[in-house]
Homo-oligomer: A and B are copies of this chain.
């Protein structure tokens, strides 16, 4: 096996080889235009066709209803942590948040600067190894919205269901599992996702927002952080991150060509199923997450003896299994197996994990 054969980075993360190859081939001349996509005026007909096609493909893939805006923004999920309360409070003073781990916590901290945050549910008592069951949630009918984190990239905890919040708009940080499975967009008021896991390069943020939620933001909200600015101008109020939009568009087309989100979900279930089954049966590796809350995207695991961690990582790199080190806040290992990770990569990882036990257990 060669260096860098499989890249398990949590993000920025592996992209489909076909997409990178096409980007390479078009780097100096996009479709006979004589220009790189990076060199195109964002208001020219060439780039307009790229961004319009990207939006149309995303709408088709996710089944986004016509009364939702699709926005191509910058600043990552962190910027959304502020934009969501700044724009969606709409005269209310409190919002419900579901506390499922480190990323939910960051969203909560930022929102707390703009409104009273009430925890509708918290996984803290269970060490964030499970999502609090819906029957235990305490939803506030006066909340401006309910916010949750679809997939905790660090904790490896993922919702496999959509919470019911009645008339209160549902807001989701879908950064690390967007496009990994079909999802009923009409259940949401607003979906946001940084691109650098399942979509494309870092520096692009997708926001999908229901028309009726576009309203006057808090006083002092910068023009660039008012959703209406971008909705009104079709994401072209200012220069969008054009190359990242192009790359995202290539990923969308690749997903359509490989069966859409239903097929992606089947592949993802198979990959994650293989890895979790091996971990659980190994008697050496361990994943702490409750069975029905396990992430299909990020699989954290520990070795029986943490003193072997460094040896495990070195051996993995020698086999071309890259970026398996766990997040600095979690320790241990983490295998991120987004859409673009092939089943063969998971097989290679499991093979290595077996070999490692034989040598060192």
Contacts and interface: CB of A to CB of B under 8 A. Distances in A.
A74 interface: yes
B24 A82 contact: no
A241 interface: yes
A123 interface: no
A44 B9 contact: yes
A260 interface: no
A114 B222 CA distance: 9
Interface of A: 2-5, 7, 9-15, 17, 20-21, 23-24, 27-29, 32-36, 38-42, 44, 74-79, 81-83, 86, 110, 113-114, 194, 196, 200-204, 218, 220, 222-225, 237-244, 247, 320, 322-323
Nearest to A82: B222
Nearest to A74: B74
A74 B20 contact: no
Nearest to A336: B41
**Nearest 5 A-B pairs (CB), nearest first?**
A4-B34, A203-B241, A82-B222, A24-B27, A74-B74
A40 B27 contact: no
Contacts of A239: 11-12, 76, 194, 196, 202
A112 B351 CA distance: 62
Given A74-B75, A78-B223, A224-B79, A4 B24 contact: no
Contacts of A323: 41, 44
Contact of A9 (B39, B83, B201, B322): B39
A7 B20 contact: no
Q: Specify how many copies of this chain sit in the oligomer.
A: 2
Contact of A201 (B10, B23, B38, B83): B38
B222 A110 contact: yes
B17 A38 contact: no
A322 B223 contact: no
Overall SS of chain A's interface: loop
Contacts of A27: 20-21, 23-24, 27
Contacts of A113: 220
A28 B4 CA distance: 11
B12 A34 contact: no
Nearest to A239: B202
Contacts of A320: 34
A28 B18 CA distance: 10
Given A27-B27, A41-B12, A244-B203, A20 B34 contact: no
A233 to B, nearest CB: 11
Given A14-B35, A38-B202, 9 more contacts: A2-B34, A20-B27, A35-B322, A74-B75, A82-B223, A82-B224, A82-B225, A83-B222, A222-B225
B78 A38 contact: no
A244 B113 CA distance: 31
B3 A32 contact: yes
Contacts of A12: 38-42, 239, 242
A36 B201 CA distance: 10
19 contacts: A3-B33, A7-B39, A9-B41, A12-B40, A14-B39, A20-B38, A24-B27, A38-B201, A74-B74, A74-B241, A77-B238, A83-B222, A196-B242, A201-B242, A202-B239, A202-B240, A203-B204, A203-B242, A220-B220
Interface centre among A32, A77, A203, A204 (most CB of B within 10 A): A203
